Structure 1
Amino acid sequence: MATSSHFPAATSCAPRLSGTTTINSALELGNSAIWSLSGGLLQISGGVAGNNRDITISGSGAVTINSIIATASGKINATGTGLLTLTGSNTYTDTTKISAGSVINIQNSNALGTTAGITDIDNGGALQLQGNISVGTEDLTLFGSGISNTGALRNISGNNSWAGKITLDNATAIHRINSDSGTLTLNGVITEAGKADNKDLTFGGAGNITVNGAIAASNGDMILSKEGTGLLVLNGVNTFRGSVTITDGILSVATIGNGGASGNLGRATNIASNLIFDGGTLRYTGATASSDRNFTINAGKTAVFDITTNNLTFSGVSSATSGGLTKMGAGTLTFGGANLHTGTTTVKAGTLKLTGSGNLASTNIIVGDAGSSGAILDATTKTGGMIIGNGKTLSGIGTINATTTIQGTISPGNSGPGVLTNVGNIDLQSGSIAEFQLNGATAGTLYDQLKVTGSATLSGALSISMGYTPAINTLYFVFVNDGTDALTGTFSNAAVNGSVYTLGGQQFKVSYFGNFEAGIPSFTGGNDFVLMAVPEPSVGLSLLGATVLLVRRRRTDLFRNDA
């Protein structure tokens, strides 16, 4: 049963408490105090005068100190498994120590006393921030990842900041900083203790974290990881030399220098293992820039590059894995090397540009998908143009600016019909396939269309997928050339102009001289490839038989009238 007790000033304090205990009067400690709470809640609202004594909170019960802790040199030690909450503007000047299994929650900018003291968090301990507070230049030392890997420094809610230096001091553990919600802003330097060993630093959680101070490592490498669905913004001129791994969420930077140069991503060399995508997004918000960094996309994962406005050029390449790549953002991402990833490459927004020897020969490519706007694949300055290799597919609803060679498959649209545009010459080579889906009579919304501005050469096969039964004489302009450039060659399985072929289970008459651009699109008079739905042979014969029978009946009637 909970009780409420009032304790007067004391010369020493070592109570063992349970239930709910409220102390409204001032506590004056004559000796070092150990408060052991086996359960329930201890609330202290009347102030604590430490008299240069240490205060240790142990046990499994929760302790909330709403008033001021004032002591010149005494320490605050959290050693229990219960939550210690500090909401007062404390003035103690010594160390705050959080042991393994212990948690301190602070809800006041000065809850940890003056900045003359430091805060140490053992491996398995945690410091929680909430209440929109701004902690001053107090030094913080982390030895681990918190309780159950939830963060040694953890933003619970609200927009909170820490201005002091953060030191990583465990060579065998991961140092984790988490934000559950809201934004945690770190303005001080993050560094490792002066030892020649590597340190692991992970940022995680569903909330946001902004690091304005530099992340530095002078005695060993620092390995940085971004986990959780939240946003991590790195603004400092970072000098750490270890790898960067993006697992989830968004890592946002404004500078990506060459390998070895300091910047938001540190100064690691340009080897592919120093920038690893295990999922997640790399967002670039800076000015037009270039980097020689190579990168790795882990097998089965997708690297997302979100280039918000300007142009970011990678002269480096992706490593040879089954991972995929997605381009987002209104800006331009340029590759100057031959990327080796084999997963799908998708341009959702903005421009993905290939220059020089830049290549995506080992991957399926989608230019624009559902919800995309203005997605462009640009290979106008790429040596040899854009090549879609055997067994690979180019699809989507965006635009390709390139001389394009199709050795594999070209398939406008995505899961449904759409228009794919190629600005430049296109060559559908022997063995290639052009796929079109017909679900109705409207180009782009109900049936697929490939638009070409440039000459077009056809040698491959035509593949039609029917999603409905068309009306007789319906026209489908599936391959539309501009009004001036030549359309040469034919599809191998629809080779003779004006002939009828069965495609996708439907009879079509084909024309290589259709005119989609006319005021009224027509089967002849231009240089577009068009399909016209015609009756099945049995239907045609039935109609012919009905016509003959009708003529015979009319003739019989005439003879009868003559008689």
Structure 2
Amino acid sequence: MKRKYPVRFISTASLGSALLLALSATPSPAADSTWTGANSTVYNDIANWTNGVPGSFDLAIFSGTTTANQPYLSTGADIGGIQFLTETGGWTLDSDGSIITLGNKGINTTGQTSGTNTIDAPIRMNMGQGQQAWTVTSGSTLVLQRTLYDVSTNVNSRLTVDGNGTVVFQTTNTFVSQLLLNGNTTTLSLEADGALGTGELILNGGIINSVGARTLTNSSIRLIGNVSFTGSNLTTNADVRIAYAGGALRTLTIENNTTINGVISDYTGDAAGFNKQGAGTLTLGGANTYTAGTSVSDGTLIVNGDQSAASGDFVVLSGATLGGSGIIGGNTSIAGILTPGNSAGTLTFVDNVTLESTAEVNIEVTGASAGEYDQLAGDGANTLNLDGTLIIDNTGYTAMLGDTITILSGWDTITGSFTLIEGIDLGDGLYWDTSALATSGILKVVPEPSTSAMLIGLGALTITFIRRRRP
């Protein structure tokens, strides 16, 4: 005989109670929390927060009047983001070296108009979702005193910094994600080599400020807006790609000494170029290939690399300076100052060059042997149109009668002439003969005209005297 089991019915009310009990056991949704420092400086003390210690999806908020108990991190923190809201003050998040893991909410100083916020803890950016944004508002400064690195990166990982405030990087950083700089006055201040990581640096406006001589370690640089470089010397060996600007040139404002040793090229193949502004010096050392041209409006541009493949027009405006010992492609017009060579050296042009009436060509001469004087060189098939002023710097040169130097070489055709030449008088009765300059580019040391005439006169008197003594 089969055993019969009683049938048990569960009421709807019982099911509801069980479901409620299960839900109550589920962790509560993420909740942002504001620091009060009511109990201590310990970051992980629940009593110091309005809503408990922030979690991996939460914002850690620092607002109102800064408290005496500034947060101190002695164990790791995993948070969604950091927000500084104090309008005119500044916070310091200190640590013993414990790490902050920062989620995709990033860091922002929304509403802050002045003040400096300092994070003295390593930051590990969790880039699992690919993007992280830091917004530092105008007048606000964020100082990072320890290493910034990333985890869970993918090919689209990117840190974006904007807001027109300042971020100060005080140490070398190792993050490999892209770094995008946005905003006309958003400033990245570099106090260490490699401060901007090792990934691609994308510049869409903003300012790079070098505190002391610094070197970038980014794998590449992409210029998609106008950017300024300030402070001390800055060097990069990365290749630079310039994005198409609708037929205009991107603006590089150089207020320091910036050196680009990598190759500058067009981004996506569309013709691009740049306008060098600012009183500083930009030095190019790469085999550049960009095609929309170069304009030098202010300061100095030094070309030491072979950019014969950079085919766009090259324009140097009045008051600006072009120098170096490299090769320049594209038709060149110079209304400013031309200083070939690095000390003594040769600057070569592969297309036609026109010196405007306001041009000033400075030639340094330390000797009459090759390599001891500056040269302007052509490639054998181009034309040099002369005008303006030639200034010969003879400092350190001991002139010898008959010395000959060629300061204009390799040109198929030389037309025009300099309207003024300075530095002809070499002293000791010698001067530079410039009569062959416009035809063959040659200067020759000869006696001064008065000395030459006197020598000829003395020679004639001697001959007469000798003739008169003959029987």
Q: TM-score category by the smaller chain?
A: 0.5 to 0.7
Deviation per residue, 1:35-66 (Å, 9 max, x gap): xxxxxxxxxxxxxxxxxxxxxxxxxxxxxxxx
Taking structure 1 as reference, are residues 187 and 478 closer, same or farther at Cα in structure 2, changes over 3 Å only? same
- Structure 2 residue 102 is matched with structure 1 residue 152: no
- Specify the alignment match of 2:446 in structure 1: 534
CA distance in 2, matches of 1:391, 1:186: 48
Q: Provide the secondary structure at the position in 1 that maps to 2:447.
A: coil
1:276 to 207, 227, 244: 207
Quote how far apart the aligned CAs of 1:362 are. Answer: 1.9
**Deviation of the 1:401 alpha carbon:** 1.9
> Is the CA contact 2:85–2:110 (under 8 Å) kept in the aligned structure 1?
no
1:477 aligns to 2:406 (yes or no):
yes
1:392–1:168 Cα change, 3 Å:
closer
Q: 1:470 to 1:149 in 2, by over 3 A?
A: farther
Indicate if the aligned counterparts of 2:141 and 2:168 stay in contact, CA closer than 8 A: no
Structure 2 residue corresponding to 1:245, chosen from 184, 187, 192: 187
Question: Residues 315 and 303 of structure 1: is their aligned pair in 2 closer, same or farther, counting only changes over 3 Å?
Answer: farther
Instruction: Give runs of aligned pairs for residues 307-326 of structure 1, distance below 5 A.
Output: 307-308=237-238, 310-316=239-245, 318=250, 323=255, 326=258
Matched with 2:275 is 339
The amino acid that maps onto 1:355 is T
1:97–1:120 Cα contact (<8 Å) kept: no
Distance 1:197 1:470 in 2: 62
Matches within 5 A, 1:424-435: 424-435=351-362
CA distance in 2, matches of 1:491, 1:169: 59
**CA distance in structure 2 between the partners assigned to 1:241 and 1:430 by the alignment:** 41
Contact 1:202 1:227 in 2 (8 A): yes
Alignment of 1:353-364 (within 5 A): 354-356=290-292, 358-364=293-299
Q: Does 1:447 align with 2:373?
A: yes
Structure 2 match to 1:7:
none
The aligned runs of 1:131-170 (5 Å cut-off) are 138-139=78-79, 152-153=93-94, 162-163=100-101, 165=103, 168=107
- Give the residue type in structure 2 aligned to 1:391: G
| Alignment counterpart, residue 330 of structure 1, candidates 259, 262, 269 | 262
Distance (Å, rounded) in 2 between the aligned partners of 1:432 and 1:241: 38
Amino acid at match of 1:534: V
Distance in 2 between the 1:222 and 1:338 partners? 25
Partner of 2:416: 489
1:297 aligns with 2:228: yes
> Which residue of 2 is the match for residue 400 of structure 1?
328
Which residue in 2 is equivalent to 1:507? Answer: 431
Secondary structure (helix, strand or coil) at the match of 2:369 reads: coil
Q: Deviations over 1:149-170 (max 9, x none)?
A: 79525687xxx85545486476
Q: Distance in 2 between matches of 1:248 and 1:192?
A: 19
Question: Aligned-pair distance for 1:96?
Answer: 7.3
Q: Secondary structure at the match of 1:540?
A: helix
1:411 corresponds in structure 2 to: 339
Displacement, 1:392?
A: 2.9
Give 1:349's match in structure 2, choosing from 273, 285, 290. 285
Q: With CA pairs under 8 Å and 6+ residues apart, which has the higher RCO, 1 or 2?
A: 2
Provide the alpha-carbon RMSD of the alignment: 5.2
Q: Equivalents in 1 of 2:454, 2:39: separation in Å?
A: 93
Distance 1:229 1:139, change over 3 A: closer
The one of 231, 236, 243 equivalent to 1:306 is: 236
- Cα offset, 1:346, TM superposition: 1.6
- Contact 1:354–1:378 (CA<8 Å) still a contact in 2? no
Percent identity at matched positions? 17
Aligned to 2:318: 390
Instruction: Find the aligned partners of 1:202 and 1:232 in 2 and give their Cα distance.
Output: 15
Range with bigger deviation, 319-328 or 330-339: 319-328
How far apart in 2 are the matches of 1:346 and 1:240?
21
* 1:429 shift after superposition: 3.7
In the aligned structure 1, how far is the partner of 2:91 from the partner of 2:361? 51
Cα pair distance change 1:429/1:143, threshold 3 Å? closer
Query: Which position in structure 1 is the counterpart of 2:149?
Result: 210
Give ranges in structure 1 of 5+ residues lacking alignment.
1-75, 85-92, 100-114, 130-134, 258-264, 369-373, 495-500, 515-526
Secondary structure of 2:354's partner?
strand
Say if 2:242 and 2:273, in contact at 8 Å, map to a contact too. no
> Shift in Å at residue 79 of structure 1?
4.0
Cα pair distance change 1:145/1:333, threshold 3 Å: farther
Number of aligned residue pairs: give it: 394
Q: 1:429 to 1:340 in 2, by over 3 A?
A: closer
Q: 2:199 aligns with which of 246, 249, 254?
A: 254
Any idea what SS the aligned residue of 1:347 has?
Answer: strand
Shift of 1:127: 4.2
Out of 174, 177, 198, the residue aligned to residue 236 of structure 1 is 177
- Once the two structures are superposed, the pairs formed by residues 212-227 of structure 1 within 5 Å of their partners are 212=151, 225-227=166-168
Does the aligned pair in 1 maintain the 2:279–2:300 contact within 8 Å?
A: no
1:530 deviates by: 0.9
What letter matches 2:228 in structure 1? I
In the alignment, the residues of structure 2 paired with residue 155 and residue 448 of structure 1 have an alpha-carbon distance, to the nearest angstrom, of 58
CA spacing shift, 1:472–1:172, aligned 2, 3 Å: same
Match of 1:186 in 2: 124
User: Which residue of structure 2 lines up, in the alignment, with residue 8 of structure 1?
Assistant: none
Provide the C-alpha distance between the structure 2 equivalents of 1:78 and 1:169, rounded to a whole number of angstroms.
26
* Aligned equivalent of 2:383: 456
Distance 1:167 1:380 in 2: 40
Closer, same or farther in 2 for the Cα pair 1:97/1:322, shift >3 Å?
farther
- What amino acid is aligned across from residue 152 of structure 1 in structure 2? L
* Residue 284 to residue 94, structure 1, CA distance change in 2 (3 Å): closer
Structure 1 240/462 Cα, relative in aligned 2: closer, same or farther at 3 Å?
A: closer
Task: Tell me, yes or no, if the aligned pair for 2:326 and 2:346 is still in contact at 8 Å.
Answer: yes
